[in-house]
Amino acid sequence: MLKVMLLAMWLVAAYAKPAAEEVVPIVSQESSVEADGHYHYSYESGDGSKATQDGELKEVDKEHAGEAVVGSFEYKGDDGQTYHVEYTADENGYVPHGDHIPAIPEAIARALKWAEEHPYKEPEQKH
């Protein structure tokens, strides 16, 4: 009985082992970083996925700086369609654009506008 149970456990373990994943080759790739903070990268893989991004240091105000980024990526979804996204990322956050990305619902757009017009202010401390 023990031998049968061990054999059954071994068979379950053998079939439960994940199959090796397909290796997707990189077809093209480039990358550069400059001393002044500018950078660029892009790649395309064998499955048709591709991405590109350019960034630079940006002064937000006299005391703060950050990256300003523009980029895009493209991939094939499980449904077989190709999806393309273009985006910016800076002091305003990450802002993607794509035909498959739904528009911001009106109620959320109004709430975001209100929040922008009424920034949070730290309450005064009473001593």
DSSP-based three-state secondary structure for 9: helix
Asked, for residue 103, whether it belongs to a domain, the answer is yes
Q: Is residue 13 part of a domain?
A: no
Contacts of 112 (CB under 8 A, 6+ apart): 104
DSSP state of 107: H
Token pair for residue 39?
């950078």
How many beta carbons lie within 10 A of that of residue 25, not counting itself?
7
Asked if 40 and 32 touch (Cβ cutoff 8 Å), the reply is: yes
Whether 56 maps to a domain, the answer reads yes
Spell out the per-residue pLDDT of the chain, length 127, in tens: 555 555 566 666 666 656 667 899 999 999 999 998 899 999 999 999 999 999 999 887 888 888 899 999 999 999 999 999 999 999 888 999 999 888 888 999 899 999 999 988 888 888 7
Question: Which domain covers residue 31, as residue numbers?
Answer: 23-117
Q: How far is residue 85's CA from residue 104's CA, in Å, rounded to a whole number?
A: 16
Burial call 77-105: b when 16+ CB within 10 Å, e when fewer: eeeeeeeebebebbeeeeeeeeeeeeeee
Domain-embedded: residue 111? yes
Give the count of domains, the chain.
1
- The answer to whether the pTM exceeds 0.95 is no
| Cα–Cα dist 18/51, whole Å | 29
